[in-house]
Chains A and B, each alone.
Chain A
Amino acid sequence: MSATTETIEQVENLAGEGYKHGFVTDIEMDMAPKGLSEDVVRFISAKKNEPEWMLEWRLKAYRLWLTQEMPSWQKLDLPEINYQDSYYYAAPKSQADGPQSLDDVDPELLKTYEKLGIPLREQEFLAGVTNIAVDAVFDSVSVATTFKKKLNEAGVIFCPISEAIQEHPELVQKYLGTVVPYTDNFFATLNCAVFTDGSFVYIPPGVRCPMELSTYFRINALNTGQFERTLIIADEGSYVSYLEGCTAPMRDENQLHAAVVELVALGDAEIKYSTVQNWYPGDENGKGGIFNFVTKRGICKGDRSKISWTQVETGSAATWKYPSCILQGEDSVGEFYSIAITNNYQQADTGTKMIHRGKGSKSRIISKGISAGKAHNTYRGLVRVTPKADKARNYTQCDSLLIGDRCGAHTFPYIESLNRTARVEHEATTSKISEDQLFYCQSRGIGDEEAVALIVNGFCREVLQQLPMEFAVEAQKLVGISLEGSVG
């Protein structure tokens, strides 16, 4: 047996054990009745004490969803999903009235986040060097948002979206559903009907958000879907960097996560959105894990605005996700940096869409797919240049790395250019970790698993560099851990 084969096997054998966030928090929950119906939609809306317009919007979406079918073009082999078999609302009882301050947060929840390495007590932040405000979403509700006061002083609004619907209805009504309409697609429509919480961010004109904002999503309850909704608005000339992290307990059942994220960047504004997705990927036989079917889209509405997506996707049994940019403003910029790692029986179909509408708009796509075990990893991307987008430019680079000989890498780039002055470039490579590289590292004393992690981190470097410092370190380790069960 060759050294590479052995390494791959060792790495594969470790799968499951490698997932460090698989624990369950034992906490009393307030649940909606099982299954999906108009009553459940009304139940959620009532729980959130929502205004009439919100409920109407949800019901419109729900009725449309009943007529829709799940998309089938993705390269994912999925079982039939029974949407009546899930709970659509689950909230810790202790949080029934919503947290007034961090002192009100259930200690059990604080412990959970501590265990995950997400400190929610502000003094823990102050003691360290971190400068990140956190919104913690536990199943269907936000349980805590830190640093609200400091952000308020800068005029920044950072709160659970359910709170924004109460406190800032004019902003929510103006922007919600404008980037991802309720008619958008099967999963987005479902989300419109049953979304429970998520984060809301508004950065006023000319403000550079004084700290990184982040939301940490945790699925805990059994048979519960998480449907969060995030809306970020960067007003003229403002800047914000937002981070998102996700984990879930190890369970044998698949759990559904269907989020919607909408970003709006007005003139000269910039939004940097980073994700480290580490949902439970299922065990080494492909049992369990999260179905991560997410719609993320941003619009560069104003001239010279910029939206940059960076994602590190290591978890989930199946991922269906295409963070996209509509480049409407002149000279607007869209970026997509992605690392997708699949191992064992994980499947990922992920990529981006760059829709060039504004003159001189530019986009850049760097995608790194790593596949190990029996996993399948697909890049699917669309670059569309509309007739008015004179001198639009795109550069795409798609690199795939294979570990072992039972996994697959697939690339589906779609390019539609309707403007003669546009320039669109696409480069793609597929490679394997070579025996030479492994032996070279080993002969320097580096064990085979660490060697694989090192080589894969090198392969991903261009993307890792895009992450904010605190996240980059975390992501590098995560690459290592998910490759313990795969390669790196």
Chain B
Amino acid sequence: MLEIKNLHASVDGKEILKGVDLTVPAGEIHAIMGPNGSGKSTLSYVLAGRDGYEVTEGSVTFKGQDLLALSPDERAATGVFLAFQYPVEIPGVTGATFLRTAVNAVRRARAEDEWDGIGFVKAARAKLKELGMTDDVLKRAVNVGFSGGEKKRNEMLQMAMLEPSLAVLDETDSGLDIDALKIVAEGVNALRSPERSMLVITHYQRLLDYIVPDVVHVLADGRIIKTGDKNLAHRLEAEGYADVIGEAA
């Protein structure tokens, strides 16, 4: 599904990713853990194609295509979804308008029929139900005045509507209390499927109690220095990053 080879990336001329190698097969959930400043968010932005994140070396292949050659919206159409650490407010644009514009843009790019108003509302209601959300989120302006938990759940709704084959969750747990965290994790688990891969980026192990990963990677100083199963996350929690990083070095 996703194959990252020797990926180097810079921001403002400073190298942040220094040779990341990572393969995520279809249907698997991989966690990327690492201390602050290790390059976790940079990796997610590079995958989504954010401007200002310059790839200097290496390759990213997604479903057999060169992902790096595509614009952010083309990547979304191919099936990449980034759940933001800090979802952005768009004043005056209702959730319904935003979602319908997004879904139809993606459907158009995939040469599928666009949804009319009724088709869209039906589909959105079904997803809201699955996620245990009310349609309030469709009427309000996107993320404006949302609590941290509401913002993250809104990301889950967008993910459910866009049906990506690769979801990158960037510190989805940040700013959430434990109840909100559980709700978001349920949302993610509801979207698990054999066709969908996920890359869960997090600083803390606690999210992984609710979203159980198949593989855990440790990112430090722009490289993946260790890979293991879910027990690696527990070890990091117990022993701290310093020990694990020191051991790998």
Instruction: Find chain B residues with CB under 8 A from A173 CB.
Output: none
Binds A, one of B4-12, B46-54, B115-123, B222-230: B46-54
B133 at the interface (CB under 8 A from A): no
A103 to chain B, nearest CB (A): 37
CB <8 Å contact, B73 and A445? yes
Which residues of chain B have C-beta atoms less than 8 A from A477's C-beta? Answer: none
Which one of B14-22, B81-89, B237-245 is at the interface?
B81-89
Other-chain contact of A446, B87, B91, B92, B101 (Cβ < 8 Å):
B101
| Interface check B97, CB cutoff 8 A | yes
The answer to whether A458 and B73 have CB atoms under 8 Å apart is: no
Q: Which residues of chain B come closer than 8 Å to A444, judged between CB atoms?
A: 73, 76, 98, 102, 105-106, 158, 162
Name A431's closest neighbour in chain B (CB-CB). B91
Chain A residue nearest to B161 (CB atoms) is A444
Choose one: B72, B84, B93, B158; the contact of A442 (CB below 8 Å).
B72
Given contacts A436-B88, A437-B88, contact A446 B97 (CB under 8 A): no
Q: For window 435-488 of chain A, which residues contact chain B by CB distance below 8 Å?
A: 435-437, 439-448, 450, 454-455, 457-462
Whole-angstrom CA separation of A273 from B87 in the bound complex = 39
* CB<8 Å pairs between A and B, sample of 6: A437-B88, A439-B48, A441-B102, A444-B105, A444-B158, A445-B106
Binding site for B on A (CB under 8 A): 2-4, 434-437, 439-448, 450, 454-455, 457-462
Say yes or no: B93 contacts A457, CB within 8 Å: yes
B23 at the interface (CB under 8 A from A): no
In contact, A455 and B93 (Cβ under 8 angstroms) = yes
B158: min CB distance to chain A, Å: 6
A-B interface pairs (CB < 8 A), number = 84
| A residues in contact with B105, CB < 8 Å | 444-447, 450
Q: Which 10 pairs of residues, A with B, have the shortest CB-CB distance?
A: A458-B92, A445-B76, A458-B93, A461-B92, A445-B106, A3-B51, A442-B72, A444-B102, A440-B88, A445-B105
B101 to chain A, nearest CB (A): 6
Contact between chains at B73 and A454 (CB < 8 Å): no
B93 touches A445 (CB 8 A): no
Which residue, A441, A444, A445, A461, has most C-beta atoms of chain B within 10 A?
A445
Q: With an 8 A cutoff between CB atoms, is B190 at the interface?
A: no
**Complex contact B73–A442 (CB within 8 A):** yes
Are A439 and B50 in contact, CB atoms less than 8 angstroms apart? yes
A454 partner, pick from B71, B87, B90, beta carbons under 8 A: B90
Contacts of A440 in B (CB 8 A): 84, 87-88, 90
